[in-house]
């Protein structure tokens, strides 16, 4: 009798798991779903199970399945801040796809799975301004809140009134902003594995003409700075803390530029010529190549400036504690 390889074992396993699912859940599951199609860098092998949760109950049931079968688990939004492994993800990827949208007065209630830029457009169309500064940030509303996304001096944490989350132990809870533990491009809730399902934001009624003008300006600015035609995952490293209170953060890109990062590449993974803190996939880049390139960028800055850059982009991979990382 032949011993199945890890990958074969994984396929057999998912077949068994799927056969035990009721039809209403089965239709929301894709097997061996290529992660390159789910990440803006367009890199990544297959997820054994990609499960689309359109409401809280579905998210809870998929989470339960992962627990029951002891599967590695990953929460996916728009995949715009992720490097997915070439080997794929031998586990259950939960795609948050909650998409409700309502407004009342100056508040907006929306599913965390909504496309973030579409949410901005819809909020403006509903007469609510405030989010226009973030126009053009890719990904979902949930990813933006859980990563405290920001730009041009503002962050998502300024707008959060309330949220509905599902905790790793299966508890659905209403959360106030103080429970998120907001930091620079981070939240404590993301680190503890909470699934964000619904968000209530406090915006402003009116001011739409001005907001639309700001939106157009920000989109044009992004187009002039970002790799519009090449897959990327946004800024690779976080900006550095401000040197003194009241000052701006130091852009990681400025240090990377000074160490010549714009000329660095590994295979088809390259530092974007227009922005030294962005890695682009110029063809068939692999996650292994991207990791080598990112390490080289980090080392060049550490060697010259003794600064330890912290990665902003997250890894979508099964971490094996027995292997050196
Ligand atoms: C061209 C480009 C420009 C960008 N510009 C900016 C910018 O100006 N400012 C900025 O902050 N970012 C920027 N980004 C990065 C990225 O778009 C944001 O971080 C975005 O908010 C990530 O959302 P997402 O849905 O794609 O999250 P994903 O990439 O899918 O996931 C990122 C992390 O959030 C977690 N997560 C996602 N959704 C949920 C959820 N519902 N519940 C719990 N956890 C969740 C994931 O597990 C993962 O750890 C840019 C990216 C690109 C490609």
Q: How far is the CA of 36 from the centre of ligand 1 (A)?
A: 16
Q: How far is the CA of 95 from the centre of ligand 1 (A)?
A: 13
Q: From the centroid of its chain, how far is CA 257?
A: 25
- Report whether pLDDT(11) > 80: no
Lowest-pLDDT range, 93-102, 199-208, 218-227, 292-301? 218-227
Domains of the chain: 6-96 (3.30.43.10), 101-210 (3.30.465.10), 230-316 (3.90.78.10)
The CA angle 65-67-69, to the nearest 5 degrees, is: 70
**What are the CA-CA distances from residue 202 to residues 110, 125, 158, 159 (Å)?**
12, 16, 9, 5
- Report whether pLDDT(2) > 90: no
Task: Using most ligand atoms within 8 A of CB, pick from 84, 139, 215 the residue to mutate for ligand 1.
Answer: 139
96 close to ligand 1 (CB < 6 Angstrom):
yes
- pLDDT, position 141: 98
Percent of the chain residues topping a pLDDT of 90: 88
- pLDDT, position 324: 45
pLDDT tens, position by position, 275-300: 999 999 999 999 999 999 999 999 99
pLDDT tens, position by position, 213-239: 999 999 999 999 999 899 999 999 999
- pLDDT, position 120: 98
The catalytic residue positions are 185, 235, 312
The residue whose C-alpha atom lies closest to atom 1 belonging to ligand 1 is 234
- Binned at pLDDT 50, 70 and 90, residue 23 comes out as very high
- Report whether pLDDT(174) > 80: yes
Q: Report yes or no on whether pTM surpasses 0.75.
A: yes
The alpha-carbon radius of gyration of the chain (Å, integer) is 20
- Binned at pLDDT 50, 70 and 90, residue 243 comes out as confident
The residue whose C-alpha atom lies closest to atom 51 belonging to ligand 1 is 234
- In 3D space, the residue among 160, 165, 114 whose CA is nearest the CA of residue 141 turns out to be 114
Tokens 């809730």 found at: 189
**What CA dihedral angle connects 53, 194, 111 and 317, to 10 degrees?**
-60
Q: How far is the CA of 144 from the centre of ligand 1 (A)?
A: 5
The pair of three-digit structure tokens given for residue 51, joined into one six-digit string: 């499960």
What is d(CA 118, CA 109) in angstroms, rounded to the nearest whole number?
Answer: 14
What is d(CA 73, CA 149) in angstroms, rounded to the nearest whole number?
Answer: 23
24-29 contacts at long range (C-beta below 8 A, 24 or more positions apart): 25/51, 25/58, 25/61, 25/62, 25/65, 28/52, 28/53, 28/54, 28/58, 28/62
- Report whether pLDDT(7) > 80: no
- Report whether pLDDT(5) > 70: no
- Report whether pLDDT(8) > 80: no
pLDDT tens, position by position, 44-57: 999 999 999 999 99
195 close to ligand 1 (CB < 6 Angstrom):
yes
The residue whose C-alpha atom lies closest to atom 22 belonging to ligand 1 is 143
Task: Using most ligand atoms within 8 A of CB, pick from 77, 172, 194 the residue to mutate for ligand 1.
Answer: 77
**What CA dihedral angle connects 36, 39, 44 and 46, to 10 degrees?**
-70
């Amino acid at each position: 009798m032949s011993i199945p390889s890890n990958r074969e074992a994984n396929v057999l396993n998912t077949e068994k798991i799927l056969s035990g699912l009721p039809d209403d859940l089965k239709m929301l599951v894709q097997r061996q779903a290529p992660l390159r199609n789910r990440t803006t860098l367009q890199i990544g092998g297959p997820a054994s199970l990609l499960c689309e949760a359109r409401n809280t109950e579905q998210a809870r049931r998929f989470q339960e399945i992962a627990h029951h079968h002891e599967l590695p688990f990953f929460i996916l939004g728009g995949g715009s801040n992720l490097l997915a492994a070439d080997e794929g993800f031998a586990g259950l990827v939960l795609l948050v796809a909650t998409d409700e949208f309502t407004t009342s007065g100056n508040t907006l209630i929306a599913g965390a799975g909504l496309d973030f830029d579409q949410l901005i457009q819809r909020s403006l169309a509903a007469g609510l301004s405030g989010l226009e500064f973030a126009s053009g940030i890719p990904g979902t509303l949930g990813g933006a809140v859980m990563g405290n996304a920001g730009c041009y001096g503002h962050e998502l944490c300024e707008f959060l009134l309330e949220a509905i989350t599902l905790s790793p132990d299966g508890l659905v809870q209403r959360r106030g902003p103080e429970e998120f533990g907001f930091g620079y491009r981070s939240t404590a809730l993301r680190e503890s594995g909470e699934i964000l399902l619904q968000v209530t934001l406090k915006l402003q009624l009116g001011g739409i003409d001005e907001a639309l003008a700001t939106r157009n300006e920000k989109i044009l600015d992004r187009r002039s700075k970002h790799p519009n035609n090449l897959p990327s995952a946004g800024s690779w490293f976080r900006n550095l803390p401000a040197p003194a209170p009241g000052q701006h953060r130091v852009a990681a890109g400025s240090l990377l530029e000074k160490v010549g990062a714009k000329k660095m590449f590994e295979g088809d993974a390259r530092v974007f010529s227009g922005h030294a803190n962005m890695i682009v996939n110029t063809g068939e880049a692999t996650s292994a190549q991207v990791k080598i390139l990112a390490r080289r960028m980090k080392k060049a800055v550490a060697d010259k400036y003794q600064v330890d850059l912290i990665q902003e982009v997250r890894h979508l991979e099964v971490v094996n504690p027995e292997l050196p990382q």
